[in-house]
């Protein structure tokens, strides 16, 4: 039997069965979401490659089958968002458990719930641009070095061999990484150098077929390389640091210590700023000031200690934008952006 008179009502009050079911399920999730031990609030990048983070409600599950031992279970997590329509995509970054995480797989399109597989960034790419500007980006380095071996030349010189893949967010900075570019990983006692292979930049897996700017997860296929004492900065861990020259003074020898672009809530960090020639500190002082920042003044305490140091206290976290500190000196100037993070 057809009840045609039901159609006499106002159309805005009629919802199809799918929408009604979705709304009811969202209401159920809102009510029951935290009745589980794996519900957390983590930090999500506010806008792609912005470096600013906002809280988001998720459930965190195991991301892979850990029984094979091929990958570390704590390096892959499956995020299920409280909001069924939450927007995320491959290449988006998150921060929790003292690490940055990058989305390597999603189930968003035509899917009932919003979820994403994230991988922990276990290191940092550090490099200098041709203009002498320092850049860094969290990255995930694969576990296994493939084709690891020694090649013995005609003069009994042993050349190390081996390839490894590195994954990172494909943003304005990293999309300029070229073939043959070198990076250092490890520590001051033992840096390991890797060079991007001639065809080792994977920047073409578009999220949208015809949009060549939509690839947001990049891969670098690298081979092991030698560290170069004459060109590499073995203190800061930056390959080819001393090959970069700029006109006049070298901007890239203004060094911040510690090399940490964030302060945790409630903590105070003292930064030393000096000119360097190689690994040797040079004379020269700076004038420090908060530069046109959108961070409210009650969220931080900034103090100039002397011409080569300042301190910053994170009174209360502020995730919408970083605090910019200008460091102006006679032989060069630099702007340092510091994030006021939460307690972890």
How high is the pLDDT of residue 246?
A: 37
Same structural domain for residues 54 and 133? no
CATH assignment at residue 312 = 2.60.40.1080
Structural contact between residues 105 and 114, judged by C-beta atoms closer than 8 angstroms: no
Same structural domain for residues 136 and 237? yes
Q: Which among 67, 98, 120 is the end of a domain?
A: 120
Same structural domain for residues 131 and 228? yes
Q: Give the count of domains, the chain.
A: 3
Same structural domain for residues 34 and 140? no
How high is the pLDDT of residue 245?
A: 45
CA separation for the pair 321, 276 (Å, rounded): 29
Same structural domain for residues 10 and 102? yes
Q: Which among 196, 224, 243 is the end of a domain?
A: 243
CA separation for the pair 154, 7 (Å, rounded): 88
Structural contact between residues 165 and 217, judged by C-beta atoms closer than 8 angstroms: no
Same structural domain for residues 14 and 113? yes
Same structural domain for residues 110 and 155? no
From 314, 259, 321, 323, select the one nearest 45 (Cα to Cα).
321
Structural contact between residues 194 and 186, judged by C-beta atoms closer than 8 angstroms: no
The pair of structure tokens assigned to 241 is: 């640091």
Same structural domain for residues 155 and 266? no
From 54, 17, 56, 25, select the one nearest 39 (Cα to Cα).
56
Same structural domain for residues 144 and 207? yes
Q: Give tens-digit pLDDT for 94-145.
A: 999 999 999 998 876 655 567 889 999 999 999 988 777 889 999 999 988 7
pTM: 0.61
Residue 13 has pLDDT above 70, yes or no: no
CA separation for the pair 338, 299 (Å, rounded): 13
Q: Give tens-digit pLDDT for 61-95.
A: 888 765 555 667 789 998 988 877 788 889 999 99
Structural contact between residues 109 and 79, judged by C-beta atoms closer than 8 angstroms: no
Same structural domain for residues 155 and 104? no
Q: Which among 223, 243, 263 is the end of a domain?
A: 243
CB 278: neighbour CB atoms within 10 A? 13
**In the structure, what pLDDT confidence band is assigned to residue 51 with cuts at 50, 70 and 90?**
confident
* Domain interval for residue 182: 123-243
Q: Give tens-digit pLDDT for 162-217.
A: 789 999 999 999 999 999 999 999 988 889 999 999 889 999 988 888 998 889 99
Give how far Cα 30 sits from Cα of 17, 88, 108, 135, Å: 20, 19, 19, 41
Same structural domain for residues 192 and 146? yes
Same structural domain for residues 92 and 14? yes
From 118, 127, 125, select the one nearest 139 (Cα to Cα).
125
How high is the pLDDT of residue 121?
A: 96
CATH assignment at residue 67 = 2.40.10
């Amino acid at each position: 039997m057809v009840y045609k008179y039901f159609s006499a009502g106002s159309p805005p009050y009629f919802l199809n069965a799918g929408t009604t079911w979705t709304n009811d399920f969202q209401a159920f999730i809102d009510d029951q979401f935290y009745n589980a031990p794996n519900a957390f609030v983590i930090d999500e990048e506010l806008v792609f490659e912005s470096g600013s983070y906002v809280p988001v409600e998720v459930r965190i599950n195991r991301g892979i089958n850990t029984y094979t031992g091929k990958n570390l279970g704590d390096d892959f997590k499956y995020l299920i968002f409280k909001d069924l329509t939450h927007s995320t995509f491959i290449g988006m970054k998150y921060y929790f458990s003292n690490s940055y995480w990058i989305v390597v797989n999603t189930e968003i399109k035509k899917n009932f719930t919003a979820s994403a597989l994230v991988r922990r960034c276990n290191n940092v790419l550090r490099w200098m641009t041709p203009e002498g500007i320092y850049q860094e980006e969290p990255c995930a380095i694969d576990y296994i070095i493939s084709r690891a071996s020694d090649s013995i030349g005609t003069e009994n010189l042993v050349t190390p061999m081996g390839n490894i893949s590195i994954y990172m967010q494909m943003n304005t900075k990293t999309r300029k990484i070229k073939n043959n570019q070198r990076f250092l990983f490890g520590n001051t006692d033992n840096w390991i150098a890797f060079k991007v292979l001639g065809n080792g930049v994977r920047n073409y897996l578009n999220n949208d077929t015809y949009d060549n700017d939509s690839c947001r997860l990049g891969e670098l296929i690298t081979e092991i390389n030698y560290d170069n004492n004459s060109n590499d900065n073995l203190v800061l861990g930056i390959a080819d640091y001393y090959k970069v020259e700029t006109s006049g003074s070298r901007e890239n020898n203004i060094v911040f210590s510690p090399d940490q672009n964030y302060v945790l809530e409630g903590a105070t960090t003292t930064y030393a700023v000096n000119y360097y020639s190689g690994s040797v500190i040079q004379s020269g002082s700076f004038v420090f000031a908060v530069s046109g920042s959108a961070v409210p003044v009650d969220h931080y305490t900034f103090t100039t200690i002397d011409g080569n140091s300042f301190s910053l206290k994170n009174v209360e976290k502020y995730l919408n934008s970083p605090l910019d500190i200008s460091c102006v000196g006679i032989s060069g100037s630099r702007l340092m952006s510091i994030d006021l993070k939460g307690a972890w």
